[in-house]
Amino acid sequence: MATVYEGQQHGTNGFVKKVAIKVIKKQFASQKLFLENFIGEARLVADLIHTNIVQTYQLGESDGTYFIAMELIRGMNLEQFLSILWKNSLPLPTELAVFIASRIARGLAYAHGKSTTEGEALGIVHRDISPKNILLAFEGDIKISDFGIAKAAGFLIDEEGDVIAGKSEYMSPEQADFKVTDKRSDLFTTGIVLSLMLLGYNPFRGEDGFDSREKILTMATPDFRALSPAVDDELNRILHRSLSKDLNGRYQTADELLKDLEKYIYKDGFGPTNETMGKFLRKIAESFSVESLDMSRTDTMIRNYRGN
């Protein structure tokens, strides 16, 4: 429901900071529900201060147009990154796939545990953990973006149970079945993203949205060891627990998932870091031109913009 521009924040004595400016689209600006949720998203993420979440600087309005000024990430989203790799028949190293998933879990652990200043849990559920919403910075940081359809007490209007929120091939069974979600829903979708990185395809993606939701609801979780040599017994166990349709059999918190993912990649006492990730990302970006990106599946439109 928004367009993202690159802009500049100006201060005194020649201070200039590049930012991303998210502007609500005109066709949605006049609709009360969309406008209230756009404002609610800004209010929610303003206080989510974490290295694995895109930072928000300001909610503003100019000539009746609302915008959110945010941290500008120099890099690409996970979908674009994987597109480059697969188009050029390059694998994503297993340890980096698990590292990316661990940083997603780390950001979710923070968001899920966020409370009001009075100590009341916000009950945040992102509900849209997918490759387009995972940003990879050239410095190696992994950041969760776009809380536009998140659940959070008192911030966004929620019609859960009546409408489906999210991308069909990256839903939890609860989302796909019009049920009320909690933080465990985000852990299932993190499992889907991890399986995508390891297999090179999303095993739950169907011919259309309905087919994808049916697969999520009914398809047995595959033995990932049989689908990819990158998956060993322990990683298969982590995937199965993340993708458990039984809520009680799934990871109960993002901290639990994070612990298992980090134990997996650092079991020998060393493993990937932000620097490792950044070096690999920059190497890929330098090796293949921007033209090698398949932008046809990217919804967010990026334009150059300069303003005060």
Shared-domain flag, residues 122 and 48: no
Question: CA 277 to CA 281: how far, in whole Å?
Answer: 6
Shared-domain flag, residues 130 and 207: yes
> Is 116:49 a contact under the CB 8 Å cutoff?
no
Counting the structural domains of the chain, the total is: 2
Give the pLDDT of residue 33: 80
Give the pLDDT of residue 160: 60
Does a structural domain hold residue 15? yes
Residue with tokens 């060393």: 270
Catalytic residue among 128, 141, 146, 260: 128
Shared-domain flag, residues 62 and 130: no
Question: CA 76 to CA 97: how far, in whole Å?
Answer: 15
Give the pLDDT of residue 156: 60
> Is 135:125 a contact under the CB 8 Å cutoff?
no
Give the pLDDT of residue 65: 86
Give the pLDDT of residue 64: 82
> Is 131:147 a contact under the CB 8 Å cutoff?
no
Give the global pTM.
Answer: 0.89
Give the pLDDT of residue 118: 82
Shared-domain flag, residues 270 and 230: yes
Mean pLDDT, the chain, rounded, equals 88
pLDDT tops 90 at residue 152: no
Non-local (6+) Cβ contacts of 91 within 8 A are 85, 200, 230
Shared-domain flag, residues 147 and 272: yes
Give the pLDDT of residue 161: 55
Question: CA 256 to CA 273: how far, in whole Å?
Answer: 20
Task: Note the pLDDT tens digit of each residue in 79-121.
Answer: 999 999 999 999 999 999 999 999 999 999 999 999 877 888 8
Does a structural domain hold residue 43? yes
> Is 59:46 a contact under the CB 8 Å cutoff?
yes
Task: Note the pLDDT tens digit of each residue in 241-253.
Answer: 999 999 999 999 9
Average pLDDT in the 197-205 region? 96
Give the pLDDT of residue 289: 64
Domain span at residue 110 reads 75-287
- The winner for highest mean pLDDT among 109-123, 148-162, 208-222 is 208-222
H or E segment to which residue 307 belongs? none
Please give the backbone phi and psi of residue 95, each rounded to the nearest 5 degrees, phi first: -65, -30
User: Which amino acid is present at 43?
Assistant: R
Give the pLDDT of residue 1: 75
> Is 100:142 a contact under the CB 8 Å cutoff?
yes
Tell me the pLDDT band of 300, cut-offs 50, 70 and 90. Answer: very low
CA distances (Å), origin 63, targets 19, 34, 84: 20, 18, 40
Does a structural domain hold residue 142? yes
H or E segment to which residue 73 belongs? none
Does a structural domain hold residue 29? yes
Give the pLDDT of residue 304: 30
Give the pLDDT of residue 69: 94
Does a structural domain hold residue 171? yes
Shared-domain flag, residues 97 and 219: yes
Give the pLDDT of residue 150: 84
Shared-domain flag, residues 25 and 111: no
Does a structural domain hold residue 292? no
Does a structural domain hold residue 282? yes
Question: In terms of Cα–Cα distance, which of 302, 305, 308 is closest to 80?
Answer: 302
> Is 223:246 a contact under the CB 8 Å cutoff?
no
CATH number of the domain enclosing 111: 1.10.510.10
Shared-domain flag, residues 220 and 192: yes
Shared-domain flag, residues 103 and 124: yes
CATH number of the domain enclosing 67: 3.30.200.20
pLDDT tops 60 at residue 291: no
Task: Note the pLDDT tens digit of each residue in 7-62.
Answer: 998 989 999 999 999 998 888 777 888 888 888 888 888 889 999 999 999 999 88
Does a structural domain hold residue 275? yes
Give the pLDDT of residue 157: 60
Specify the long-range contacts of residues 250-257, CB closer than 8 Å, at least 24 apart.
Answer: 250/184, 250/187, 250/188, 251/184, 251/187, 252/184, 253/109, 253/112, 253/183, 253/187, 254/105, 254/106, 254/108, 254/109, 254/112, 254/183, 254/186, 254/187, 254/190, 255/105, 255/109, 257/105, 257/187, 257/190
For 122, which DSSP code? -
Shared-domain flag, residues 17 and 67: yes
pLDDT tops 60 at residue 268: yes
Give the pLDDT of residue 27: 81
* 128 given a catalytic annotation: yes
pLDDT tops 90 at residue 308: no
Shared-domain flag, residues 65 and 137: no
Tokens of 93: 């190293």
